[in-house]
Structure 1
């Protein structure tokens, strides 16, 4: 249990991978003095806390905690901070950035503030398609821990339940991108349950629609996806982002089953939904405009003519530039279109260039590479093809397991 200043300091120092000697060298306090503070045999001074904050990159965490004191009184602010830090310490390996995220809840308490969950959700949605790193996953998990702490300490509200539903669903998507499909599906189910408890219709539709859009890449059958889309669309009669995601799931199904006519109907459904959304929703990075362009390009590049692939990709590429993961996926499928229509060397080179520009290993992009490789003629050989194979996702692609 982390319940003193010294224990917090030790947790942060160990998370930073620093020995007592290393921290002593950085702060110019003797390692025995740091050790005495960590074990509670000596009281930290404000200068000591400030030095540790500076060298550990945690300002003003330790200084604020020292000001709050180690007394036994009913100090809500201090208890909130310690609960968050303790949760991080018991999980281990979360890193300093996540510790900083976790204590924000306590710092907001100090200022009588509260978490702006709408802004938090929007920020994480943006990061998911621009910077889906391991640090992103750890930081997102910390936000879920903050929300859980708020629910336990301050009670359930529709806003908090909606927040944990949307963040939990996003965490499932991130896990899927790491290749942990089983855990991803568990998070999707949990997110749907939490969304139902919030009774917020747009969130109920969104978490289901977004999971379905990814589902056929993560083990959903065709019929399971179609049934899920019908159920999701029945939840609301007004346009929502979740309805747009549900139609995108149908685009995936029809692209993989090579049903171009119904695929185009599903894209038209995405456009109809987008036309009914608010200006604020339409203006989001990685919003309806980008999402619809991405799926239209995917459909035409996978099963349309080269002329239609050219047109759809030309429309998609400019709007997808702020969304690196989706842009890489669109470029890979344009490369697949080139391969399918006879330019194997050009398509392989185009896709290889696209994936090498992407800074993160994302499973859905690897699935796109595997899909392109499935279209390469058996006799084609090249160094670029061999290199492209190293970026393919492991296991069978959804086009090989349709049911």
Structure 2
């Protein structure tokens, strides 16, 4: 297990020896089983790997009296480090925490877990976030296997899986993202939870248009989600947002505004919890629609409303800045629009596909005669795969 944790952390034996202040030989003997480790050695390794007190706990569970506990912890460690990589230790700590909750007769608040990760998706779309989210999915799977597939656990697994698909899509891992969307929809169906079923289908439709779905596929999935919706929900909001996408891409401003009215109607009946709530989501689509096919005046008016609401949500804010840049280019302020988008895209700590697609969308309307160093640099941030506008006839 020491070897597994070391390799998950990307350390050589010599590297761990340097951090733990023990000899490479001493650690090598422990890893190969030739020498029983001391508590001090394992405590030093725990500190160096950020896994405290996992290795020391394994040592404390040595002996015939703790065979089952040690076996269970070893299996958990192997699973966590194998699946979640460097986040394995954190995942194991979470499993231990959930074990304590189970022992005390308490249940994990999966609704809050999903809400927290949903918010982090649009605030911190980093590889570390993806690893942490995958670790959380593993925890849900562990509970489903060990305790049983309750509706709550299946719902949580579905929504977390949907979020993981969205994160993979942002990393340009499109086939993998689509696989997670299918899995999420299946789990949501098995949970029997209508809001989860609606959300997984609708969010896939809204994002899928960035990831190779045709306009017909996106609209069809959105309407399917609305057909099973039985009350205002985030899923219904996402279904209407997918239709806004479709109409914005076909430059049908009137139909887009009707779909946006559907979003507004749903948003007005939902609680606005946090900066990424229904109001911010709705205004981001209103701004997208007006920037892409509205008038300069309507685009300016929506930007004035959207900018303060979206600023606390970095991914949505930077994407919106790119689309406002597109509106500037459309009205002839080409240099200003390019500079605005370039400032936005370079401010993100990691590339995000939805933002790179927005850059590609802007570049489509830049006059061919325009030349500038800003334009050359902006091109390096554009999506390398076709944008959704290629499906205009589908």
Question: Does TM-score exceed 0.5, indicating one fold?
Answer: yes
- Residue 359 (structure 1) aligned to one of 341, 349, 366: 349
Secondary structure at 1:75's aligned position in 2?
Answer: helix
Residue deviations 1:83-125 (CA, integer Å, cap 9, x gap): 232124445xx44333322342034325636543222212211
- Residue 120 (structure 1) aligned to one of 113, 116, 135: 113
Tell me, yes or no, if structure 1 residue 299 matches structure 2 residue 289.
yes
- Residue 106 (structure 1) aligned to one of 90, 96, 102: 96
Give the CA deviation at 1:156: 0.8
Secondary structure at 1:359's aligned position in 2?
Answer: coil
Give the CA deviation at 1:148: 1.4
Q: Distance in 2 between matches of 1:163 and 1:84?
A: 20
Give the CA deviation at 1:268: 1.0
- For residue 311 of structure 1, what is the aligned residue in structure 2? 301
Residue deviations 1:180-214 (CA, integer Å, cap 9, x gap): 22221121111011001001111111111111111
Tell me, yes or no, if structure 1 residue 175 matches structure 2 residue 168.
yes
Instruction: Map 1:126-145 onto structure 2 (within 5 A).
Output: 126-145=119-138
Instruction: Map 1:241-252 onto structure 2 (within 5 A).
Output: 241-252=234-245
Structure 2 contact 81–88 (Cα < 8 Å) conserved? no
- For residue 87 of structure 1, what is the aligned residue in structure 2? 79
- Residue 43 (structure 2) aligned to one of 50, 59, 62: 50
Secondary structure at 2:307's aligned position in 1?
Answer: helix
Structure 2 contact 169–177 (Cα < 8 Å) conserved? yes
Q: Distance in 1 between matches of 2:21 and 2:255?
A: 69
Q: Distance in 2 between matches of 1:98 and 1:382?
A: 47
- For residue 196 of structure 1, what is the aligned residue in structure 2? 189
Deviates more, 1:169-178 or 1:17-26: 17-26
Secondary structure at 1:268's aligned position in 2?
Answer: helix
- For residue 3 of structure 1, what is the aligned residue in structure 2? none
Change beyond 3 A, Cα 1:329–1:178: same
- For residue 225 of structure 1, what is the aligned residue in structure 2? 218
Q: Distance in 1 between matches of 2:67 and 2:191?
A: 31
**TM-score, length basis structure 1:** 0.92
- For residue 87 of structure 2, what is the aligned residue in structure 1? 97
Give the CA deviation at 1:138: 1.8
Aligned residues: 390
Give the CA deviation at 1:343: 0.5
Structure 2 contact 80–91 (Cα < 8 Å) conserved? no
- Residue 62 (structure 1) aligned to one of 40, 55, 70: 55
Q: Distance in 2 between matches of 1:258 and 1:327?
A: 22
Change beyond 3 A, Cα 1:71–1:173: farther
Change beyond 3 A, Cα 1:150–1:74: farther
Deviates more, 1:107-116 or 1:47-56: 107-116
Change beyond 3 A, Cα 1:196–1:79: farther
Q: Distance in 2 between matches of 1:221 and 1:208?
A: 15
- For residue 211 of structure 1, what is the aligned residue in structure 2? 204
Structure 2 contact 158–187 (Cα < 8 Å) conserved? yes
Give the CA deviation at 1:252: 0.3
- For residue 5 of structure 1, what is the aligned residue in structure 2? none
Give the CA deviation at 1:398: 1.0
Q: Distance in 2 between matches of 1:253 and 1:275?
A: 23
Runs of 4+ in 1 over 4 A off after TM superposition: 70-74
Structure 1 contact 164–191 (Cα < 8 Å) conserved? yes
- Residue 151 (structure 1) aligned to one of 144, 147, 153: 144
Q: Distance in 2 between matches of 1:354 and 1:21?
A: 42
- For residue 377 of structure 1, what is the aligned residue in structure 2? 367
Change beyond 3 A, Cα 1:166–1:353: same
Q: Distance in 2 between matches of 1:103 and 1:311?
A: 48
Give the CA deviation at 1:233: 0.9
Give the CA deviation at 1:144: 1.5
For structure 1, the 5+ residue unaligned runs are 1-7
Q: Distance in 2 between matches of 1:387 and 1:173?
A: 27
Q: Distance in 2 between matches of 1:81 and 1:124?
A: 26
Q: Distance in 1 between matches of 2:278 and 2:367?
A: 36
Residue deviations 1:340-370 (CA, integer Å, cap 9, x gap): 0111111111111111111110111100000
Structure 2 contact 248–293 (Cα < 8 Å) conserved? yes
